């Protein structure tokens, strides 16, 4: 990916000569503004919203603002190598796409478009357990490109095993177990609308395509259920469930299965009792590298690696779970200081730009996960929008490395940062 920055500049400026401006803005603030205009109220509340008063989201950004990059001159660095080795596999850049649930809020077949964009840019995509397209379809769309799978630990252990087996079958490079969403956080933007995508059948495609889940849902569909209150909203929700369920609309409309699937999902999707004892069983349940996501405390990081985890993701879920939580970047600094340089640590939450990627790596991240920005690109231009966001972030990282005299990712160290 050497020269990614200059290549991107050349592409955009050459189009400018022809009077064409980028459809996807090069700065995050304008990207966010345009994506908001293109999104429904429900979609924006879910994707852009955070927990409580939004303090964790703000804190994620403030943490980056507390560090300044210190450029170094006349390094003679004409080319950069952005490649990394992660869990024994080479990747062209230190950027991965974070799992984002219910992506169809931002565009139909969201996960397929994101998968194709990830493959086109050589960026590993972590399939969301709350995706809107089955993992098998996304894997097929990516060809041989790198993909990981996110796992939410269900209350049904057979479902956990079924999802793991499917992740292995699609060639996932790692199993990313999300620890911080055993219950949903307090999300006022969604609550004020009474809006939960899953209750409308959005974001449950990994479940409705799963044989174990299908068995549980089919059993539920045979059970008597209370007569629902009939309102216009209830009718719209039923139609949404019907539309989002696999199969033909009119057949689904006459079937109890779409409603039973939603109710089953809401019952089993995440296990509030998830413990280290559960996690200790993973080594016997999968041959995939295990990545534990949602770690913020040094003691939890050490315990994760003692348990045999191959990597952790330092993450506060993009500020969506706990209000007034520690910033992920601050947690990264503390965790890296505690566990030393060897363990593999990724950072999620707050990454917006290539300069952010540079800062995170300088503070100890081996790689980073990008979330909301690529979803905003999806809202603007579909697959092309996701590709443009990825290329912009990578380009800025490359240019930042050029201007700080760093030849490769390993050369990005804390010596290139100063407290702001």
- Sign of the dihedral through C-alpha 196, 261, 102, 56: positive
Q: How far apart are CA 64 and CA 354, in angstroms?
A: 12
Cβ count near 328 (within 10 Å): 32
Q: Can you state the angle between helices 232-244 and 257-268, rounded to 10 degrees?
A: 90
Placement of tokens 């549980």 in the chain? 216
Q: Is there a catalytic annotation at residue 317? A: yes
The CA distances from residue 164 to 136, 212, 306, in Å, are 13, 12, 22
> Token digits for 358?
């540079």
Q: How many residues does the chain have?
A: 420
> Token digits for 262?
């939603």
Decide if 210 contacts 162 (C-beta within 8 A). Answer: yes
> Token digits for 141?
């769309």
Backbone angles phi, psi at 191, to 5 degrees: -65, -40
Burial of 218 (0-12, 13-18, 19+ CB in 10 A): middle
Concatenated DSSP letters for 87-130? TTEEESSSEEEPP-TTGGGGSTTHHHHHHHHHHHHT--EEE-TT
If we measure between CA atoms, which residue out of 149, 142, 136, 151 comes closest to residue 113? Answer: 142
Long-range contacts of 37-43 (CB under 8 A, 24+ apart): 38/379, 38/380, 39/105, 39/106, 39/379, 40/105, 41/193, 42/105, 42/193, 42/195, 42/197, 43/105, 43/106, 43/379
Catalytic-role residue among 245, 278, 297, 317:
317
> Token digits for 416?
């290139």
Residues with Cβ within 8 Å of residue 64, at least 6 apart in sequence: 329, 350, 356, 359
User: Nearest 5 degrees, angle CA 119-CA 135-CA 218?
Assistant: 165
- Could you give the residue numbers annotated as active site? 317
């Amino acid at each position: 990916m050497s020269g990614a920055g200059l290549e991107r500049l050349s592409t955009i400026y050459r189009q400018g000569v022809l009077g064409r401006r980028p459809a996807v803005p090069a700065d995050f603030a304008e990207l966010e503004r345009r994506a908001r205009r293109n999104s429904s109220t429900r979609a924006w509340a879910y994707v852009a919203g955070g927990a409580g008063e939004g303090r964790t989201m703000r804190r994620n950004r403030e943490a980056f603002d507390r560090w300044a990059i210190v450029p170094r001159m006349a390094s003679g660095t004409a080319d950069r190598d952005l490649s990394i080795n992660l869990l024994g596999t080479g990747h062209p850049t230190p950027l991965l796409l974070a799992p984002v649930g219910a992506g169809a809020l931002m565009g139909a077949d969201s996960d397929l478009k994101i998968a194709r964009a990830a493959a086109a840019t050589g960026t590993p995509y972590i399939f969301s357990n709350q995706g809107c397209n089955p993992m098998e379809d996304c894997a097929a769309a990516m060809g041989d490109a790198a993909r990981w799978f996110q796992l939410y630990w269900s209350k049904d252990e057979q479902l956990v095993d079924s999802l793991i087996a499917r992740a292995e079958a699609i060639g996932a490079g790692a199993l990313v177990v999300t620890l911080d969403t055993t219950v949903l956080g307090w999300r006022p933007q969604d609550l004020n609308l009474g809006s939960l995508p899953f209750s409308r059948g959005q974001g449950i495609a990994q479940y409705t395509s799963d044989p174990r889940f299908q068995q549980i849902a089919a059993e539920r569909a045979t059970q008597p259920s209370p007569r629902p209150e009939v309102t216009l909203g209830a009718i719209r929700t039923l139609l949404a469930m019907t539309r989002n369920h696999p199969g033909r609309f009119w057949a689904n409309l006459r079937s109890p299965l779409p409603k039973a699937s939603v109710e089953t999902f809401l019952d089993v999707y995440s296990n509030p009792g998830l413990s280290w004892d559960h996690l200790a069983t993973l080594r016997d349940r999968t041959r995939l590298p295990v990545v534990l996501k949602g770690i913020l405390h040094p003691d939890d990081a050490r315990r994760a690696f003692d348990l045999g985890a191959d990597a952790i993701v330092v993450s506060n879920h993009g500020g969506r779970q706990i209000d007034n939580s520690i910033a992920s970047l601050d947690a990264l600094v503390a965790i890296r200081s505690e566990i030393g340089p060897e363990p593999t640590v990724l950072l999620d939450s707050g990454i917006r730009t290539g300069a952010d990627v540079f800062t995170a790596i300088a503070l100890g991240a081996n790689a980073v996960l990008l979330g909301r920005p690529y979803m905003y690109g999806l809202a603007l231009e579909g697959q092309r929008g996701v590709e443009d966001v990825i290329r912009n972030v990578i380009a800025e990282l490359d240019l930042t490395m050029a201007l700080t005299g760093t030849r490769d990712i390993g050369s990005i160290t804390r010596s290139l940062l100063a407290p702001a």
